Structure 1
């Protein structure tokens, strides 16, 4: 009779454990609509604010009398379609790594609906010394899905392929930009935007 009692208690314990594991993986609630396969932590909504840096001048300009924004000239405050086009952000991929450089959440794609936007709410995991990378203007919501970018080292060593077809920017294309910030992500009632400075690749 004692053996039967122990078996019954063991079976009940296993059933309880199985029912718990169906609901959560570590600290992640699998019923959370924001959880994605590969996430190692729950995410919270965080405002991200973009700053597009001035272009860097490499070498000398071909024509010396043309002002360059990289030299701090030519910043006419009036509307400039070319300047707006080279600073536009159509979409972003967001990558987050923990303090050891390992992927914390799977890469997420966000469409930027307005060319005027400089702030966007994204989802990040809480953590100390998180490394957040943003890759802007791939124009492809499946771009990161077939790439192994699971560590910071793999991400920064990735070389984006350029061909004769994508050296020049078409009218509906945008310049590729990349930015990185190391920040401690905390859930607060008044979460300040994370500032990220984007440079052209």
Structure 2
């Protein structure tokens, strides 16, 4: 698995666009997302194992609900799995809580990005439930991986993004607006 301080691997993947459902048609449902699209922005990239499952839509919808808060922090929110863009689209059309998902669903069907990140679950052949935060230079600053059966807390990912963006020492359970650690006072 890549480490904190490594660069996000180069990628260019087809995705289901994050447009509102009523604005999508066969001519604009798919888009390409690459590293070039992320230049100069914070990136929050979260992987899930499979479409048409039980834990995954709860997480994806919860991240989607926070999309504006991530955007307010100059962060691009992306989700991905090893399913195809056609499977993503079919799932989004039929899963009520994903219908108006405001974030792109990347299709890593060749498992190139999943493998480059080191999060391919060999036993299951799917992406692990992994989250990466990369800074505007594409440097990974946060990695969060859970068991395939355990969902993440998107609010915690947002809290960590807030902490990283302070570029200060942030104590346990720090939240945006709390005091950071002043090394001069602590000494």
| TM-score band w.r.t. shorter chain | under 0.3
TM-score (norm 2): 0.24
Structure 1 or 2, whichever has the larger Rg, is 1
For normalisation by structure 1, the TM-score amounts to 0.23
Specify which structure has the higher proportion of helix: 2
Structure with the largest fraction of strand: 1
